[in-house]
């Protein structure tokens, strides 16, 4: 049996699902994962790299069938310029260096972003799957915003690989994904997403992101963006708690905006601080 969070015993809206949501809400703060044996400490930590859009953690030991994680949505400045914002999420895939040259990604999380010239800001949860299958730039196979969140809210997300499906001779990866706002009891509910199969999913991430891809300065966030209870699973069992190579990612975009993982105490607990 896998360690980690229990899975729902019924579909969204059922009594079993409501009971499960209540259970994980109470259990999330108490779950822990064993740190690796000190004998292998030199192999546990891999490297730190700088990315133009991501700050956080990447595990790349295996092919991943599931990731679960919890985090606090970072507080951003009260006024965001058009095109400015942050997103926080957990996901599988997305690193072309570890995904066979592709950048396909399935993810769920929250975003605070200003899409409008009038200064209007959205703050919602999302579930999406991106594919780089025979296309440039990346195509959205599924992308949607749900509910209303606020800075400081506690969010939880999960992606779970279900298998492959064929449609008109094309093979698609199928995932179930969900994001919950534990603070206000909102949920995206489970969403099923499909994209053409073109990558091996050999990375899993917990990330604070600059969705503008460095086009504008990353907005300040006033407190550390905390992540914890991150559980990553290959198809055959739990990776988390074993000796696994991983990468710490620092955000370095073209405007010099920085965000750096901090307080790294285990594979499952860290924060992201805004730097200068």
pLDDT tier at 49, thresholds 50, 70, 90: confident
Per-residue pLDDT for 246 more than 50? Answer: yes
Least confident of 20-29, 189-198, 211-220, 245-254: 20-29
Mean pLDDT rounded to a whole number for the chain: 77
Distance CA 167, CA 83 (A): 36
pLDDT at 32: 36
What pairing do the DSSP bridges indicate for beta strands 139-146 and 225-233?
unpaired
How far from 175 is each of 102, 113, 151, CA to CA, in Å? 18, 26, 28
Per-residue pLDDT for 43 more than 70? Answer: no
Side-chain half-sphere of 19: how many Cα atoms within 13 Å?
6
pTM assigned to the model? 0.83
Tens of pLDDT, residue by residue over 5-39, are: 565 666 556 777 677 666 665 554 443 333 333 33
262 backbone dihedrals φ, ψ, rounded to 5°: -145, 160
Domains of the chain: 15-274 (2.60.120.700)
Which tokens hold the place of 176? 């179930």
Residue 249 β-bridge partners: 49, 56
User: Do 55 and 87 form a contact (C-beta atoms < 8 A)?
Assistant: no
Mean pLDDT of 114-139: 77
Distance CA 81, CA 79 (A): 7
Residue matched to tokens 């990330």: 207
Residues above pLDDT 70, as percent of the chain? 68
């Amino acid at each position: 049996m896998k360690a980690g969070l229990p899975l729902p015993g019924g579909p969204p809206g059922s009594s079993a699902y409501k009971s499960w949501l209540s259970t994980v809400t109470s259990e999330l703060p108490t779950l822990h994962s064993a740190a690796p044996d000190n004998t292998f400490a030199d192999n546990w930590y891999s490297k730190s790299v700088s990315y133009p859009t991501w700050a956080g953690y990447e595990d790349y030991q295996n092919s991943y069938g599931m990731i679960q994680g919890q985090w606090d949505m970072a507080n951003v400045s009260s006024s965001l310029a058009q095109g400015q914002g942050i997103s926080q999420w957990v996901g599988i895939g997305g690193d072309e260096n570890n995904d066979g040259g592709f950048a396909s990604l399935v993810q769920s999380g929250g975003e605070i972003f200003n899409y409008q010239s009038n200064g209007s800001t959205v703050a919602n949860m999302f579930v999406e799957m991106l594919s780089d299958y025979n296309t440039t730039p990346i195509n959205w196979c599924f992308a949607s915003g749900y509910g209303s969140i606020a800075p400081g809210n506690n969010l939880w997300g999960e992606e779970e690989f279900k298998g492959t499906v064929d449609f008109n001779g094309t093979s698609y990866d199928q995932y179930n994904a969900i994001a919950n706002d534990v603070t206000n009891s909102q949920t995206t509910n489970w969403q099923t997403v499909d994209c053409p199969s073109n990558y091996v999913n050999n990375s899993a991430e917990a990330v604070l992101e600059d969705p503008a891809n460095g086009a504008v300065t990353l907005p300040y966030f006033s407190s550390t963006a905390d992540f914890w209870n991150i559980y990553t699973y290959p198809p055959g069992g739990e990776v988390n708690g074993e000796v696994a190579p991983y990468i710490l990612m620092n955000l370095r975009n073209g405007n010099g905006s920085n965000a750096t993982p901090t307080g790294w105490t285990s594979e499952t607990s860290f924060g992201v601080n805004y730097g200068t």
